[in-house]
């Protein structure tokens, strides 16, 4: 079977906005959990929730299942 090639053209302004949105999302991906202890010995577990990341970066709803594990991991770290 011969190789197929497909070309798709998008308006440069739209493509630029899409690339910028992806680049900004890289700030939060991969997911991070911050664990810190304050002066009184209280341990804090902090992370950006999956719903917040979807809203912040305009990610598609089906992406939620890919990042939902962060809440489970943070809960496990908190004990």
Q: pLDDT tens-digit profile of 20-74? A: 556 777 788 788 888 888 999 898 899 999 899 888 888 888 888 888 888 888 8
Question: In angstroms, rounded to a whole number, what is the distance separating the alpha carbons of residues 48 and 32?
Answer: 8
pLDDT of residue 10 exceeding 50: no
Please name the residues in contact with 28: beta carbons below 8 A apart, sequence gap of 6 or more: 48, 53, 56, 57
Residue 14 binned pLDDT confidence (cut-offs 50, 70, 90): very low
61: its two tokens = 């709803």
Give residue 3's pLDDT: 53
> Do residues 57 and 28 lie in contact, with contact meaning Cβ atoms separated by under 8 Å?
yes
């Amino acid at each position: 079977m011969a190789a197929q090639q497909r070309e798709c053209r998008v308006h440069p302004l739209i493509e630029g906005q899409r690339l910028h949105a992806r680049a900004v999302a890289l700030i939060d991906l991969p997911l991070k959990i911050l664990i810190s202890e304050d002066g009184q010995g209280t341990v804090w577990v902090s992370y950006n929730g999956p719903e917040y990341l979807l809203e912040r970066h305009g990610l598609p709803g089906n992406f939620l299942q890919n990042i939902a594990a962060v809440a489970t991991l943070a809960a496990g770290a908190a004990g």
